[in-house]
Structure 1
Amino acid sequence: MGIRTNKGLLIPAATFLLFAGLTTPALADAPSPEPIVGNSADAEDTTVQPGPPAEPEETDLIEVQDPDAPVEGGELPPGKAEPAPGAEHCRPGGVYRPTSKHGKFHKGVGPTNANYNGTSRTAKSRFEAEVTAKVGISVSAGLKVKASAMVAEIEQEYSVNLSLELTAKLGNVITVDTPAKKTTHAKYGVYRLKHKGKSYSYYSNCSTTTKKTITSYTPYRVGWYIWES
């Protein structure tokens, strides 16, 4: 269902509005609602991105349900003998070492909204979050430590503040400019930082499992992702 204006434009009905352009002298619009502040600052929310959010390329990602519990596939495999008396001894257990960082990725919650400006001047588009949802950590298979321990290593290595889980909340509002004859797309959710590292396990005889490259996505801020078409 849509709303037909007196100029014959059909504007899809959703949770957003198109306000009069700034260059048109007209009656003042009612004040827009103040945005609901999320879990962190939203200074980047109105930055227009070059296209839709990039999807993770990995196909074996595991959504971590409990960051303080062992991750699936992280168990120590059997088959290594105990060290002989007097031989070198190591405490069995997992290891994770960060090796590189790879930017931020947006994980959306709820639908992607869009608003077309059919006028000949810049107008305002207002978007409102429609759901509340939590976003946690995703890792590739084979992590040999708890996800919380991995995050602690990443924070220390790169001096960043990460979260084990963040909540994108219902009712968060954002208003952005939409150029003439353009469509603004808006998706609400959680930004996560991507890192890679090596994970492996020690046996009691000090031998180790094969070092596996682990890709992880860890929440660091709540916000909108905006792009145009």
Structure 2
Amino acid sequence: MHIVIRRGLVVPIAAIAMFGATNSIAFAESMDTNPVEEGVLQPGPPPEEEEGFEPAPPEEEDLPPASGKPPTSGPNAEYCGPTKNVYKPNKNLGKYHAGLGITQANYNGTSRTARSWFKSEVGGEVGVTVSSEVKASASVIVAEVEAKYGVDLAVKVTAKVGNEVQVDTPSKKTTYAKFGVWRMKNSGIAYTIYSNCTVSPKKTGTTLTPWHVGWHLWES
């Protein structure tokens, strides 16, 4: 499969042919292009957003101190600072796609392979989302996940209108394309350290952290 992402490409009118596009901007053409990793076909459509996830606060909020006296001994007794929420990722659950706008589709009814060309018509912003067990801020989560896995993530990623992708569509096949933001999904341990040095019960929580703009492609 030969797949590319292009921006700002001008194509002569004579080189463009439509192949049964549905909710899409899809063209067939012939040109020399370089393959890119982001264009890999997926086994099916992106999964729907799981219920129970909510946006993480962008920054750590001021939290009230815990009641009661701090410990009088122990390694942490004299180092306790303001109350803070903690998240420690421990399992990478892979890449997940947050789609924006409708799914685009292109059916190739010819006897030859055709080039489908999709262009984003809806943009938007995707931020960090968390399960209810995670109370840490988006900035804390991003810093922890980046340090754990050595990746570059963001608190928010903006996907813009006009992003394009091309993919070969085999004869009698339909190529589907969903534009949006790829995110890294992780599970980890979430808890709160209070100002009196006590620690809340530790729970397993899940986070979805923006990675980069891209397309989810599949065919049937």
Whether the 8 Å CA contact 1:45–1:226 is kept in 2: the answer is no
Letter in 1 for 2:110: T
Q: Distance in 1 between matches of 2:135 and 2:20?
A: 52
Change (3 A) 1:185 1:77: farther
State the TM-score, normalizing by the size of structure 2: 0.78
Confirm or deny that 1:93 pairs with 2:102. Answer: no
Residue 26 (structure 2) aligned to one of 17, 35, 48? 17
Following TM superposition, by how much is the alpha carbon of 1:196 offset from its aligned partner in structure 2, in angstroms?
A: 1.2
Q: Root-mean-square deviation (CA), in Å? A: 2.8
Letter in 2 for 1:170: V
Letter in 2 for 1:16: I
Q: Distance in 2 between matches of 1:120 and 1:200?
A: 59
Instruction: Give matches, 1:168-183, under 5 Å.
Output: 168-183=159-174
> Which runs of 5 or more structure 1 residues have no equivalent in the other structure?
1-9, 23-30, 35-41
Q: Distance in 2 between matches of 1:76 and 1:196?
A: 27
Instruction: Give matches, 1:1-229, under 5 Å.
Output: 11-12=20-21, 14-19=23-28, 43-57=36-50, 59-64=51-56, 66-70=57-61, 80-83=67-70, 86=72, 88=77, 90-91=80-81, 92-229=83-220
Change (3 A) 1:127 1:68: same
Give the number of equivalent residue pairs. 197
Q: Distance in 1 between matches of 2:91 and 2:64?
A: 25
Quote the residue 2:4 is aligned against: none
Helix, strand or coil at the partner of 1:156: helix
State the TM-score, normalizing by the size of structure 1: 0.75
Whether the 8 Å CA contact 2:23–2:103 is kept in 1: the answer is no
When Rg is computed on C-alpha atoms for both structures, the one with the higher figure is: 1
Whether the 8 Å CA contact 1:133–1:168 is kept in 2: the answer is yes
Identity percentage of aligned residues? 44
Change (3 A) 1:118 1:76: farther
